[in-house]
Every structure is written in structure tokens, then in C-alpha cells.
A = this chain, B = another copy of it.
Amino acid sequence: MISVAEAEKIILQHAFPVQPEAVALPRALGRILAEDLVADRDFPPFDRVTMDGIAMVHAAFEAGQRVFPIRGVQAAGMPVMALPSPSDCLEVMTGAMLPQGADAVIRYEDLHLENGIAQVNCETVNFRQNIHTQGSDRRSGDLLVAKGRNIGPAEIATAATIGKSQIRVARLPKTAIVSTGDELVEIADTPLPHQIRRSNVFSLQALLLDQYCLDSQVFHFPDDRAALTEGLERIFAEFELVVLSGAVSEGKFDFLPEVLESLGVEKCFHKVSQRPGKPFWFGHLPGRSVVFALPGNPVSTFLCACRYILPYLGQCCGLAARPATYAVLATEITFRPALTFFLPVRTQITADGVLQAHALPWHGSGDLANLNDADGFLELPLDHTVFNAGAVFPYHRYRI
């Protein structure tokens, strides 16, 4: 049985770098950027007026001039105008180009305008005041966003600004999510006493969609060796990432590992020293597919997907590494087994700015409802039994 860290390392070694693909800009939201976003011009692209008022020559004010004839209006979106003389002014609007010859802008609040004349009512005017100088934010050629970023609303706006109506993002692996187990019925069915509805495939599908915009396909196979073998063979012909839920324990009908190996899938490991999710099986069909076979208990499936599949996809897509995150355990926890414990927690940021994690009652890996009240989980190391209130542990968030 290997450790969580060993399992993670092996999994990340099997990441295959996906090729980029171009998508139309508004559809890039939530994808991983596969090209650097670079300034195509200076920001701002010209000396930009930042207040509504008049543009004039600073030295004229310094020399005592307080009354300026208005010789026109320079609005935003108009080609640049010029001051006819250093004693004139132009009315200017926020966002306009600074008129040629002008070197300061006085806002309306400090003016009295009447009959084409601007009377200045303030005591001081600073050289280049209310002017946002060309290139002062970013220079043409500056890196604005490095590839590997998850594209959020701010990156969408940046890409629009530099003219990326098409943008290169990481392609997503073709992904199949497969449930097994004769006890499972469809959502719309009424289960018999010995049956339960399928839910793991939907949580997995939602998790990949939520975190990576990855649209996966779901399948179900009964606990029948022949049907499972035939079904998986078809799936490996088509899908690069195959996530299975259930049938990886020691039971009489848990022949999934055997079936996988019969299809040429090489086992990388089976069993990880963790709770939930100890029977986790991972392997790959060389050059074709990577296989995560997760234990079928709802909490096991969910937390293993968060802990292993999400980082795996990040690695495939070139997602830039993020710093590890930690949270403070709010109350003492005792956990005896020599296993790493993934403890569902609800966090809050206290008025001291501390991320505090409140453990939810652990009913075992079957208690799906527990995950509704949590926003992530702490990773409690296997070499301890008592985890003190106030101690800090790695925290994995799965909810916005």
C-alpha cells in the first residue's frame, strides 16, 4: 500500500500534455490559457484625459493666466486635435486623447464656463495633472497574462482589449465516467429496497465541468465480467481519461482490476493508505488512456476525484502551479487508523483573517450529505492520532 504523496507523484507522472486549441473569446471562460497574452500597444495607448474639463498649457497658468478661450471639444473617440495657441484651451472628456500642445487638464469642478470662456477658480494646477500618460500602465510587448492561467472574467477583458477574438486554450482530454454495480438504478427510477440511485457519475461529471469546463460522457455497466470487458474495450478506443467508480475492493464481483489488466491496462498502484478511498486503483493503457478506478462510496469517489483527478487535469492542461493552502483546525479530532484522513470541513475566514476549518461529523464514506455542508477537506497525516485544535493542516477546497 502506498502513501498519498506517492500516489500523487505516480499520477502526475502519467499526465500527458494536451495540445492547444483555438476557441472564440467568450467561450474561453473557465478554460486554461495556452498562449501568453501580450500588450499589442501601450496602455493607455495615448496620453489619456482622466477628468472632464479643459486641456491647457500649464506654463500659461503659472504665468498668471486664469481665463482661457475654448477653441473646441476633444471628445473620447475623436482623432487628436491641437491647441491653436498656448493661451487657448479645448474642452476635453474623460477617455479623450490629450490635445497636442496641452500638458494639463483642469476639471469642471474648478472652472466656470460661460460664452466660450473658461474661468479657472483653483489655486494650483500641476504639470500633467489629470492625464494618464501613454504606456504608464503597460508598454507594448509587456506580458499581461502568462499561459497556464485559469481564464476568469478579468482575463476575458484583457484578451478582448488586445484583440483576441480567438484565443488558444488547452484542449481537454476526452473523458468517460463509468459506474458499475448492480445495485444502481437511474435518477428517475424508484429504487427497490436493495437498490440505490446512481449519483457518483453525476458528481464526477459536475466536478470536471465546474473546475475545467470539461464535458464528459457517462456510462454504466452491470457487475458482469463479459459486459464490463466489452464495454471498457469500446471506451478505451475512444477516451483518453477514464474514471470508474466502484468494484475495486476485494469482493467476489470486484473483478474490475482483472478486467482492466486483461485489456492491457497496466496497473500503477492498487490501494493507498488513506480514508476514504483506500481501494483506489490507478493504471494506464500505454499511449492511449489513463484510468482512475475509484472506490464506489460517494464520499470516497468525490474526495479522491478532488485530491487526484483535479490536479492531474491541471498538469495535463499546463495549469500554473498554485501555492498550497492551509487551514486551522477549529476543534480536536481523533483518528486512530494509520491512514491519511481526508476530513470534510466547513471553513470560515474569521475577523482575524484566519481560515478556520470546522470538522463535519464523520459518518463514514457513504455519507454523501456530509459533503453538502463542507467546502473542502483537510488532509490529516497518517502518523498522528490526535489532531489538536489550532493546528494547521493542508486544506483542499472544492467549492467556490
Contact = CB atoms under 8 A, between A and B. Distances in A.
Contact of A349 (B25, B153, B246, B355): B355
18 contacts: A26-B202, A76-B253, A91-B252, A93-B253, A136-B363, A138-B369, A157-B368, A157-B371, A160-B199, A160-B202, A161-B196, A161-B199, A163-B187, A163-B188, A163-B190, A349-B355, A352-B392, A354-B354
**Main SS class of interface, A:** loop
Interface of A: 25-26, 29-30, 39, 41, 43-46, 48, 50, 52, 73, 75-80, 91, 93-97, 108, 132, 136-138, 142, 144-145, 149-150, 152-158, 160-165, 181-184, 186-200, 202-207, 209-211, 223, 246, 249-254, 296, 298, 302, 323, 325-328, 348-356, 363-364, 366-372, 374, 392, 395, 398-400
Contact of A323 (B199, B323, B348, B367): B348
B50 A209 contact: no
Contact of A364 (B50, B80, B199): B50
A210 B302 CA distance: 22
A193 B77 contact: no
A49 to B, nearest CB: 9
Instruction: Please give the count of copies of this chain that the complex contains.
Output: 2
A162 B371 CA distance: 15
A177 to B, nearest CB: 12
A156 B364 CA distance: 20
A326 to B, nearest CB: 5
